[in-house]
Amino acid sequence: MSNAVLHATDADFDRLVLASDIPVLVDFWAPWCGPCKMIAPALDQLAEEYAGKAKIVKVDVDQNQATAMKYHVRSIPMLLVFKGGQVQATQIGAVGKAQLAQMLDKVL
């Protein structure tokens, strides 16, 4: 797994995501979720391609239920793009790398 993808917890979500000075694509996922595993390689690639411009952060919904509840995560994968601490885009379900890149490009 790429070192570029960050893993946030309930404890450090605000620091890693909301306080970020660059846009953040957050992937709400779980280890048992098949579609979540399918998009993981695309997220790793995006983390490297967007290094310095945007961050990719994963949140395990089983381990971090407070954050998942705060953002009304009901089905996974659920991807949110944050900029300036605000949600700018939402995608529910697995999509290809190109669509994820488009989500980021819109806020860059």
Concatenated DSSP letters of 8-58: E-TTTHIIIIIT-SS-EEEEEE-TT-HHHHHHHHHHHHHHHHTTTT-EEEE
The catalytic residues are 33, 36
| CA pair distance 73, 76, nearest whole angstrom | 7
Radius of gyration, alpha carbons of the chain: 12
| CA pair distance 11, 34, nearest whole angstrom | 26
Tell me if 40 sits within 8 A of 4, measured CB to CB. Answer: no
